[in-house]
Amino acid sequence: MASVISHAVAALAIGAAFYKPGFPKRAWVLGATCSMLPDLDVIGFHFDVHYGDFWGHRGFTHSLLFAAVLALSLTAIAFRANNPYDRRILWLYFFLATASHGLLDAMTNGGLGVAFFSPFDARRYFLPWRPILVSPIGVTRFFSFRGLAILRSEIYWAWLPAMLLASSAFLLRRVHTTQSE
């Protein structure tokens, strides 16, 4: 898996692509939370849930269906119908923030892959290109020399593209605003 830090960085960059005046401040926090939530499946290790099981690590909680249901639930609960910001945009942001978790994990060099299409297809997938070093499960193992190598890898393959996405969204919005005036 990629680290929770990189998942949040990706979600914030995705949020920058959806930003416009009136974008709810809490949506940033909720988007970052959505991006980290799929890793709650690691709790299963304490209950003898095997890695490759439906509820195992990188299983259902990493699927596109889970991302869609989480985004729908969060949008319905946190943003009522009278919210001035378009709830469809918020749903799409939360969906992409959650789905980005599986995408980053599928770019790592370890694990069993990601069950993108669970529950309809139990197969686990990796992307053909896997440059991100897999992050260990557990905080204590992350803060080590190996953790520094992982962060270097994630800065290059996750944070820099995220900054490019956010910067591009900002520049495009600025150009569009300038042309509209």
Q: Identify the pLDDT of residue 1.
A: 61
**Both tokens assigned to 79:** 């943003």
Judged on CB neighbours under 10 Å (0-12, 13-18, 19+), 143 is exposed
List phi, psi (to 5°) of 114.
-120, 135
Q: Identify the pLDDT of residue 122.
A: 95
pLDDT digits (tens, 9 = 90+) for 9-22: 999 999 999 998 88
pLDDT digits (tens, 9 = 90+) for 110-163: 999 999 999 999 999 999 999 999 987 766 666 677 778 888 999 999 999 999
Flag the least confident range among 92-96, 141-145, 146-150, 170-174. 141-145
Contact yes or no for 146/134 (Cβ under 8 A): no
Between vectors from CA 138 to CA 59 and to CA 52, what angle results, nearest 5°?
Answer: 20
Average pLDDT score over the chain: 92
pTM: 0.92
Domain assignments of the chain as residue spans, ordered by start: 4-180
For 92-99, what is the mean pLDDT?
A: 98
Is the alpha carbon torsion for 18, 19, 20, 22 positive or negative? positive
pLDDT digits (tens, 9 = 90+) for 78-88: 998 777 788 99
Q: Identify the pLDDT of residue 102.
A: 97
Q: Does the pLDDT at position 176 exceed 90?
A: no
Contact yes or no for 101/3 (Cβ under 8 A): no
